[in-house]
Each structure stands twice: as C-alpha cells, then as structure tokens.
Amino acid sequence: MRKIVIIGNGIAGVTAARHIRKHSDDAITLISAETDHFFSRTALMYIYMGHMKYQHTKPYEDFFWEKNKINLLRDYVEEIDFAQKQLKLSKSESMHYDVLILAVGSKPNKFGWPGQELKAVQGLYSFQDLETMEEYTPGTRHAVIVGGGLIGIEMAEMFHSRHIEVTMLVRESSFWSNVLPPEESAMVNRQIKKNGIKLQLESEIEEIIDDGNGRAGAVKLKGGAIIDCQFVGLTVGVSPNTGFLKNTDLELGRGIKVNEYFETNQPEVYAIGDCAEFLEAPAADRKNIEQVWYTGRMHGETVAQTICGNKTAYQPGIWFNSAKFIDIEYQTYGQVANKPDENTEEHFYWEHKSGEKSIRLVFHKENKTLKGVNLMGVRYRHEVCDKMIRDKWPMKKVFTHLKAANFDPEFFKKHEAELIQMYNERYPEEAIKPRKLLGIFSR
C-alpha cells in the first residue's frame, strides 16, 4: 500500500483522489491550507451575493471523505524534499510520500504596479480572497476592476449586487475580445453597461495610490487620469502557484513542467490542474497551461489512471467551455476564434433582436465541416455539438439536425429555424425543407 499525497483540494486534486480511490486501496492524503473541505471555487461569487452559503458550495457532504478513506489535512506545505520524498509542513510533523500529486493551483497575476500590495487590492481565486473582499466591502463606495475577463465581470457583478459603484478597466477595445468574436464581445459590453457598471475600454492602470492608511485610495491610469476608489480588483489572469517550489530540483517553466502523463522530472511526482505546464501542448488547439474547471477535473481523472497502473496519456477531446456574463449565459464548443478568418472559415451568426441571444456556427471553408459553436443566451447540448464537430459533420447535415442540439427548457422560443433560413438563403440549391415539429412527443 503506497502513501499517495495530494497537495491542493481544488477540483484537480479532489478528482484525482476520488478516481484513485475507485481503483486502489492506497492511502490517500489530501493537504490544503485553504479550507477543511473541498468547495466549488466557481461558486465564490454566489456566496458573496447571498445566493448560497459556504456550506452549499461543498460538492460532497463532510462524511464523504472518511467513508472513502480520503484523509484530509488542513496544513500548508512549506518545502518539498524530492530526494527524500518528504514534505515539510507548517503545523504538523514532516510527512513522507510514495507518490506526490501537486495540484497547487494558481495565483492572480500582478504585473508589478506600484501599490499592488496595498490593502483592498486583490484578485478573486481563493476562499481567503472572498473573506478579504467581504472585509473591505463596508468601506468601499467605488470599486475598480482591472481586466476584462471572466473573473473581472464576476467581481463587477458581485460589487454591483451590494449597490457599490463599479468601474471596469479593460485594456482591449472590447470585453474579453481576445476570446470572444466582436459581436459576442459587444453583446457583453452592452450587458455590462445595461447593469449600470462603468466600462472603460482601452484603459490600463499605471499605479494604485495609497489612501494614506495603507489601503487603496485611487488608481492612476496610463495617460494620467486618476479614479478614486476604495477597492481594486486585479483580474488580469492567473499564473501557476509555484513560488514555494523555486530553487528545488523540480523543473519549472511558467508552471510545473509535465509530460502527457502529468509526470514531472522528479520520480513519482505529478502535477495537475492550473499549476501544470505541458512540455508539449496536449492538442493542436490547446495551450500548454490549461486553467479552467473542466481541464482541472480531466487532469485529475487521467492522472489517477496512470497512478493506478493504467498508464494513460492526457488526450483532451473537443474543446468546450461556459460562463455567465451577468444575465447572459455563454457556451462554446470546438474552435471559435476571436477574429473570424474569412479565408479559412465560414460563419453563420444569428442574433436575436433583443441583442441578448446569439448563435454562431463556424465551418471550415475548405470542406464545409463544423469547426465550432458559440452560444449566448441559448443552451446547446454538449453531446450533440461534440459529435457534430468530432465526426466532422458537413454543413447541410448540421443544419438539418440543428434542432436536436438545442438544450433550452421546454416552452422557450427556439431559433434554429432562423439559422436554417440563413443557410437556405446562402445555399438555395442545397436548401433544407422545413420539417414539421412534433412538439412535446417528438422524442
């Protein structure tokens, strides 16, 4: 029986522990300095907004861990001796491991701005971040959020829910425009403004100004403008949390270097989740560092196979992701680049007259097969989209079966007919005849 130690009880570490337990009787210890139990990081915003309490964000009841013989340890790993396979802990005695999984996550980026270490200047990643955000909320009349990404808009929505004035400073010319195509990005811009959140595009900060008490009092923009504020949210991405691993034999790049088996350069040491950096990107359309919930989960699932004797290379399938921009849900399947390339792609973009729903289908121009799907305010079926992209469905087949992809609740107005009409107008010789809907008995 080996002793498997996992550092980090986020989605990657916890999934690894669960899957190892399915396949082996090894002793498993899960160490975290953050919380006693696994909680869903993605739900931090809902705790702040009062949709849930902390206890609701725990995906497993507290008895689950003991029942599955997963030993939980609330402690902080200070140093790792890879040669001796020893962990030095803050509170407990040193600990030996046979197998070590580093699932230590990431940290919000700070780019060396003067004043970035002031009080009430922070990102939103950990439970402690939520606590400090709560602590600084009472004195905050105006919050500035730096960065236009998923966490940025979450933080903006959080402050907005407390009736605090919010300004978002976005370096690009439109929200999340390095990921979203212009139309979708513009839709989110409108959504932000509609909710009374100030959106300042093409703005970057130069420094954060002390209010005289060691707390943020204002930000100074490049160009000299000064915005008074009592809180600065830094949401300009995250980086692997490798600080405590520097000056060890572990090979680091931006993250912990791993091969396709999540093996590091140290024997019996693996790294998964946000902190792992692949030596080679796992697929042509994937990055070397993957930092979303789903990939963390998949890393955990896969590394467990290898550790339990079924050596398995990480092979992600068709890309997918989702988010919610205040009231607008977003889903994406396959590849939808932020800048449509007219030479290689053909886009079908439909937008509802409300300007709060859209469907974008992207096809390869060359062979007219489906490349990716973007949905705003509309839900699509993962299974169907995955199949259409994976099996390289041709355009006509995609449109013929598009209704089966819709995952919106019953009685919602379906808009696939409008997309089919768009297709029919573009390809009259290949037109699809409308089929009668059989309604609720159709399945």
Footprint of other proteins (CB under 8 A)? 11, 40, 42-43, 46, 49-53, 56-59, 61, 63, 161, 194-195, 293-294, 297-298, 301-302, 305, 310, 312-318, 320, 322-324, 326-327, 329, 331, 375, 379-383, 386, 407-413, 440, 443
Nearer to other proteins, 34 or 118 (CB): 34
Task: Round to whole Å and give the CA distance between 145 and 235.
Answer: 7
The minimum distance between CB 297 and other proteins, in angstroms, equals 8
Least Å distance, CB 96 to other proteins, is 29
Kindly state the smallest distance separating residue 170's Cβ from other proteins, in Å. Answer: 21
Q: Which is nearer to other proteins, 137 or 424 (CB)?
A: 137
Of 48 and 97, which CB lies nearer to other proteins in the complex structure?
48
**Alpha-carbon gap, residue 295 to 289, rounded angstroms:** 10
Taken as a whole, the chain contains a residue count of: 443
Amino acid residing at 413: K
- Compute the least distance from the CB of residue 109 to other proteins, in Å: 22
Are the C-beta atoms of residues 340 and 408 closer than 8 Å to each other?
no
To which H or E segment does residue 347 belong?
Answer: strand 345-351
With 0-12 / 13-18 / 19 or more C-beta atoms within 10 angstroms meaning exposed / middle / buried, residue 438 is exposed
Name the token pair of 42: 């993605």
Q: Which is nearer to other proteins, 90 or 310 (CB)?
A: 310
Helices 182-194 and 150-161 cross at an angle (nearest 10°) of 20
- Pick the closer one to other proteins by CB: 244 or 261: 261
Where residue 215 falls (left for φ over 0; alpha for ψ -120 to 50; beta otherwise) is beta
Q: How far is the CB of 403 from other proteins (least distance, A)?
A: 14
- What is the rounded distance in angstroms from the CA atom of residue 54 to the CA atom of residue 43? 9
Cβ of residue 14: shortest distance to other proteins, in angstroms? 10
Looking at beta carbons only, is 119 or 382 nearer to other proteins? 382
